[in-house]
Every structure is written in structure tokens, then in C-alpha cells.
Amino acid sequence: MDRKDMLGDVGRVVIKVGTSSITMGGTSTSESFMDSVAEQVKKLRDSGLDVLIVTSGAIGIGLMAMDAHPKPKEVPIRQAAASVGQSILMQKWNDSFQKQNIIVAQILLTFDFYSDREKYLNLRNAIQTLLAHGVVPIINENDAVCVKEIDAMFGDNDTLSAYVSSKMDADLLIILSDVDGLYDKNPKTNKDAKIITTVCEIDDSVLSMAGDTNSNVGVGGMKTKIRAAQICHEAGCNMIIASSSVKNAILKAVDGEEIGTIFVTDKKERKKSLWIRSAHPLGQIIVDDGAMKAIGKHLSLLAIGVKEVKGIFDRGDVVEVVCAGKVIAKGIPDYSSEDIAKIKGLHSDKISEILGHKNYDNVIRSENMAHL
């Protein structure tokens, strides 16, 4: 199967641009590179595609502007640099897209956007509205206030771009980088290293090929890109790693040309399952072996199979389902932790008698569960 067949009909594309690409190895933003991205996005838009951009570079650009040289884990100066760099970065993107008569919108995300359903829905509605009005959303993490994200959470936005792709139903994520793709060994130290053009399954052999970043200003290495590919795979979104130095790399990737490494997926999960899987759990429901077997058959969780409740949560929150110390699923219960503690181990016909009401026969319905 060639790439055109692998990609199928692409309708929505997310483009992730790394720090090393934006600066092209220099000490400031590369106007020619950013103009090229804008030109390619214009052509994609003219062909009827939706396009979102996830950009890195704020910290690196800010450090350069401030002439600051922090230690690797010195967070406050990096937060300050993000504040300085983000405004510079967005101005540069705005300048490049203005040349194409395209309006851009800045969206800064915190690490909980994908685990808080209300925030996710609000974000999704905002982005859908921007796209409907011909605006290109340019997304970055909010490093100025989110300490956890610097060097830890999203990894130079590789993981962030994958979550954005999954949440926004993208068909293709293109990660532009300073590398040509995934190699079978480190090409910097092995002259016989060969590029892997197609990855259909991310197994241990693929994970072993990932190295760490060589950039002084970016934090994303191949490991975070492989992690991004795993997230995309679960969401049914193809992903391509390509070199930003290749002319028209974005257009070539979308057109199915043999560029970089493509991570192919044929899996398409429900949006609700994806959200449940990535959401932060507020408690745990401990179940017995019988309940575990039922859940394994994609059946609902009944009160009779519940042994214990941990944490305090309300109906509609996300919780972990645990059996023998192992998390087997995440789900949205139809009862609060207080109510479940009262009805645990009982038959469903006893729920009304104990609680004075009954929402459902099930503690968690099968359609509200994501298997892990």
C-alpha cells in the first residue's frame, strides 16, 4: 500500500513546528521558514482542508531576546522567557500569515485541557468556530504559568500536538523537526543508519530506536515523538515526522509523497472513549474478579461487583476501575462515591430501596467505560 492509500481522504491537518525548525538553527526566528509554512497552509486551505498549528519556540526565542543562559532545570527564568518569547513568536506568525491574507488566533493551553471535559468542550467549540470563519488557530502550551509543562509534560509540544489532533478529530499530524524521520539507529553516530519510512505498530523495537534531543533550546526528542505517535494511533490519526529543511514538506506529506516516517493507524475510537482514557481520575472503584471478566467482555459494571470505593467523586466524574491492584478501565459512574459505598455488593433491584432513587441498574454503563 502506498502513502496515498494509507492517508486516504485527509480533511483536517495539525502541523507541529518545533523550536529548531522555527529558528532553523539560528539565534532568532526564520522569516523565510515561517513564510513557507504560511504559504503551504494557504494552499491546503484553498484545497478545502482545515489546518491547525501547534508551535514551539516561545522559551527559546525569549531566552535569546533576553540574552539569558539558564541552567537546564532553572524554571523561573524559563517562565519569564516564555512570556517574552510568546508575544514575539505570535507577531512573527501573524506577519507571515498576513502575507497570505489569513487571520491567525493564539490559543495557550494548560496541561489539564484534555482531562477536564468542560474545558475540552469549550476549547473544541472555540476552535471549530475559528475554523468555520477561516481563521488558523496557532496553539502553544502556557509555559508562563504551568511549571509542570516545562521540560516535563508535553516535551516541546510533541505530546500536546498529538492530544490536539485526537481531540479535534484530525486525520493527519505532521511533526516538522530537524531530523528526517525515525532511524533504526542514531544517524549522528552511525553512518549506516537507515530511515524507517513506515511504522504500522509501535512495539519495543520501535521504542528502542528513540533517542534524546540534541537541541539546547527545545526539549523534544524522538521519545516524545514516538509517544505522540502512540496517542495518534489510539485516536485513529496518522502521523508523519518530516524534516523542516525539505522544501514544501507539509504539502508533500499531505499529498502522500515518500517523505520522513509515517506512523499508520487503522483504529478509530469513539471521542468519548478517548476523553475518558486521558482524563484525570478523581477516585477508584475496586471490583471483584467477576466484574473484571464482565468488563473485559464490554459489559457494564453492576453494584454487586463493587468491593470498595476510594476517593470522593460525584456522578459524571471520571474514576479508575481497579481489580487486584491493577487499573483495568476508566469510566464515568452514574452514582457518587457516597452512593456507591452504600450499594456496593448489592443486586441492582436493591438500589432504590437503599438510596431512595435509582439512576440506572449499572454503576458504570459500558458506553461510559474505556478499557486500559
Return the amino acid letter for 266. Answer: D
What's the chain's length in residues? 372
pLDDT at 252 over 90: yes
Is residue 131 over pLDDT 50? yes
pLDDT digits (tens, 9 = 90+) for 306-323: 999 999 999 989 999 999
pLDDT value of position 152: 44
Mean pLDDT of 350-364: 91
The predicted model gives 6-20 an average pLDDT of 88
Report the pLDDT value the prediction gives residue 143, as an integer from 0 to 100. 62
| pLDDT score recorded for residue 153 | 47
The 3-state DSSP class for residue 94 equals helix
Task: Delineate the domains of the chain, giving CATH numbers in brackets.
Answer: 3-273 (3.40.1160.10), 281-371 (2.30.130.10)
Phi and psi angles of residue 35, each rounded to the nearest 5 degrees, phi first:
-65, -40
Model confidence at 151: pLDDT above 50: no
DSSP 300: P
pLDDT tens profile 359-368: 788 999 887 8
* Mean pLDDT score across all residues of the chain: 86
CA distance 134 to 34: 19
Most confident among 143-152, 156-165, 299-308 (mean pLDDT)? 299-308
Q: Is the dihedral of CA 9, 15, 20, 24 positive or negative?
A: positive
- Closest listed residue to residue 241, CA positions, set 186, 185, 178, 176: 176
Q: Which whole number is the average pLDDT over 104-108?
A: 95
Strand partners, 174: 15, 240
DSSP assigned state of 356: S
Distance CA 272, CA 289 (A): 26
Interacting residues of 133 by C-beta distance below 8 A, sequence separation 6+: none
pTM: 0.71
One-letter identity of residue 51: V
What CA–CA distance (Å, rounded) separates 280 from 233?
20
Q: Which of the two residues, 55 and 271, has the higher pLDDT score?
A: 55
